[in-house]
Chain A
Amino acid sequence: MTNRADGRTPRGGASTRSLAHSPGRRSFLRLAAVGAGGAALPTLAGAGEAGPPAEYPWSQSLGAGVVDKPYGQPAAQEAGVIRRNVPWLTAGTESSISFSPIQDLKGILTPNGLFFERYHAGRADVDAEQHRLMVHGLVERPLLLSMSDIVRYPSVSRIHFIECPANGGMEWRAAQLNSLQFTHGMISCAEWTGVPLATLLAEVGVKPEGKWVMFEGADGAHMNRSLPLSKCLDDCLIAYGQNGEALRPEQGYPLRLVVPGWEGNVSVKWLRRIKIGDQPWYTREETSKYTDLMPDGKSRGFTWSIDAKSVITFPCPEKPLGKPGLYEVRGLAWTGNGKVKRVDVSFDGGVNWQAATLHEPVLSKALTRFSLPWQWDGKPALLESRVIDETGYVQPTIADLRKIRGVNSVYHNNSIQTWQVKPDGSVFDVQTA
């Protein structure tokens, strides 16, 4: 069977060609095929004996009516699926980060209540009525906009991830945190709705000397970052919508910048000011922080883009295996450079690899789901995933990254993650040589 990881239909040869259009169907067939080679299917647990009761209390009573919960909540059993923090990481929670529970997420979109948080001065609870966006600097016509002005502009909706470049930053020296949530949870993905930044820039008329743009938030940090005008005109959004509703306060309500594929810090939240200049500002957040210290004492600044990265989300430390048998290994891949082209999975620490199935939709600068059936024989295994993006870039190993960047660069650790599976099915975060 042809393992096409690029999402396109194989051009012949494969006997299941006609079914290959549907990735879901195809991976089901592959799973079944692998299963058929394995042990006989177990019979339904307890069937014929003390089977599950035909009727449960919820089947024999009236449920709560509409608007019982005017704003819906997850089932009570899901109460543990929450953003979590590492309390010892920062002095307080106001300049800190929380991690998305990606081990429990089912698709490419992060529910708004689970989107990771990064604040530099706590969550600003902005009054949208009073909020204004000022656009000025090297422009023909400075502009002051209310939210009701902003929503009048032609709008677009785009699905993009936002990743903090410090995601995985605690793993540069060694495997430290035994958890997918804490090694990879500084990433989330949403459908953003708003105005292309290019529309606003055309509206104010950028002067020919204008080459850089500074964005500033209305939070206590007045977070400010510089971006080159070319990126601003390319694909940036001034967003007010997140997964179909207004932005959450945690994500910058009522207005934020979304800079697709670039480190999360530049997607300034609670956006209140855009200033056009002829040079970058070299703000504290692009000099003291968000620069990468190399082993020779030099530092890299303006390392904006997120290189391709992937991780297996099942199994993982939080989601171990049960008995030996057939499993669907699942994961997420993404790249700031466009689309994911292929993801390979290894069960032996990178000696041999198999192409995984990519699941639609495969969108530019968005999380992409992949999976591969695995007949686990109960032996120890080292699981890894490796993404290749549409530029041909191959996700590196941590050893390869360390050779060039040492262990003190904090940001942009996009290395291959190794999960050690033990015979009892438990899973551990490890690094290999």
Chain B
Amino acid sequence: MAACSMSRPLEALLAVGALLALAGPALAGDKPLYGYGTRPTQAQIDAWNIDVRGQDGLGLPAGKGSVDQGSEVFAEKCAACHGTFGEGVDRWPKLAGGEGTLKADRPEPTVGSYWPFAATLYDYIGRAMPFPNPRSLAPDEVYALTAYILNLNNLVPGDFVADKDSLPKVGMPNHDNFTWEDPRPDTRAEPCMSNCRDPKAVTITSTAEGKTLTPRTTGPLDDMQPK
């Protein structure tokens, strides 16, 4: 029967897979096990290979752009949401400002006050902006916009020209304030079962009752804004 005859090669295949997995560094075996798909051409790889690495700018393309050029492109393609000077229109994100606010009650993380790596800006603008039509910018435009936004944040002088050599060298003020090792679990509690707290000490410190922030959860969707 078809069903039976099909299962045997599959089992054999799985057995081969298990053997390879046991055989140590199967990751870099000489031959593919299945051989499905095709090998992409270098041209295909180049066209897809858009990523730029934050810490050293690996992947930055040829091209360049100045702060002045950036200010023009920005006014045309970005300012409607982000504001002429990156101050943010309505609820669209701010791209500048917020220095010295990270310990404040209401921090303002922006490219200047928060981002650890300058080259990440090229990567992000190049892949995701402008928001309504991403991947529409030429490399020179992305360089120019990157230079302009860094200048808005006082991170580069007005005559700065961004390219694959200059961009990774731009120092970011908040760089050293990141740790890249997860310190969790950072709380410890004993799963106490009885008389764990003084009942009198259990007081309500805040309640959502009476706040006007919650959209309705029955009927049609709510378009409420907080009162």
Residues of A within 8 A of B (CB): 80, 82, 84-88, 90-91, 94-95, 101, 103, 120-121, 134, 136, 140-146, 149-150, 152-154, 174-179, 181-182, 198-199, 201-208, 210, 214, 216, 220-222, 224, 233, 272-273, 275, 277, 279-284, 287-288, 291, 293, 295-305, 307, 317-318, 342, 344, 348-354, 382, 386, 388, 393-397, 400-401, 404-405, 408, 412, 420, 428-433
Contacts and interface: CB of A to CB of B under 8 A. Distances in A.
Interface in B12-29: 13-14, 17, 20-21, 26-29
B121 to A, nearest CB: 8
Contacts of B1: none
A152 B34 contact: yes
B58 to A, nearest CB: 8
Q: Most chain-A CB neighbours within 10 Å: which of B174, B184, B199?
A: B184
Given A141-B39, A279-B53, A430-B204, 8 more contacts: A88-B226, A206-B28, A216-B51, A281-B51, A283-B120, A352-B196, A400-B187, A430-B209
Contacts of B124: 283-284, 288
Nearest to B110: A288
B213 interface: yes
Contact of B197 (A85, A282, A349): A349
Contacts of A307: 184-185
Contacts of B226: 88
Nearest to B134: A220
Given A82-B221, A84-B221, A302-B180, A430 B27 contact: no
Contact of A431 (B34, B128, B184, B206): B206
Closest CB pairs A-B (n = 8): A282-B54, A174-B206, A178-B208, A222-B127, A284-B124, A349-B202, A91-B91, A145-B37
13 contacts: A134-B40, A134-B48, A178-B209, A202-B20, A293-B107, A396-B187, A397-B189, A400-B189, A405-B186, A412-B184, A429-B208, A431-B205, A433-B201
Interface in B128-144: 128, 131, 134-135
B7 interface: no
Nearest to A182: B214
Given A202-B26, A301-B178, A222 B53 contact: no
B36 A287 contact: no
B203 interface: yes
B37 A91 contact: no
Given A177-B213, A207-B28, A353-B193, A282 B208 contact: no
A149 B37 contact: yes
Nearest to B223: A87
Nearest to B202: A349
A175 B208 contact: yes
Contact residues of B: prevailing secondary structure: loop
Contacts of A201: 27
A432 B205 contact: yes
Contact of B184 (A136, A282, A305): A305
Most chain B CB within a 10 A radius of its CB, from A205, A233, A296, A400: A205
The secondary structure that dominates the A interface is loop
B53 A281 contact: yes
A339 to B, nearest CB: 16
Contacts of A153: 34, 36
Contacts of B204: 420, 430-432
B201 A287 contact: no
A93 to B, nearest CB: 10
Contacts of B50: 222
B116 interface: yes
Given A144-B38, A177-B213, A178-B211, A404 B202 contact: no
B3 interface: no
A415 B30 CA distance: 49
Interface in B177-227: 177-199, 201-209, 211, 213-215, 217-219, 221-226
B115 interface: yes
Given A103-B217, A279-B53, A293-B107, A203 B34 contact: yes
Nearest to A422: B209
Contacts of A214: 51
B211 A291 contact: no
Nearest to A302: B180
A296 B81 CA distance: 31
Contact of A303 (B102, B184, B215): B184
Contact of A202 (B27, B38, B181, B184): B27
A152 B221 CA distance: 41
Contact of A352 (B55, B103, B189, B193): B193
Contact of B10 (A103, A154, A181, A220): A154
B187 A353 contact: no
B114 interface: yes
A171 to B, nearest CB: 9
A318 B217 contact: yes
A93 B37 CA distance: 37
A300 B183 contact: yes
Contacts of B29: 202, 205
Given A302-B180, A349-B197, A84 B215 contact: yes
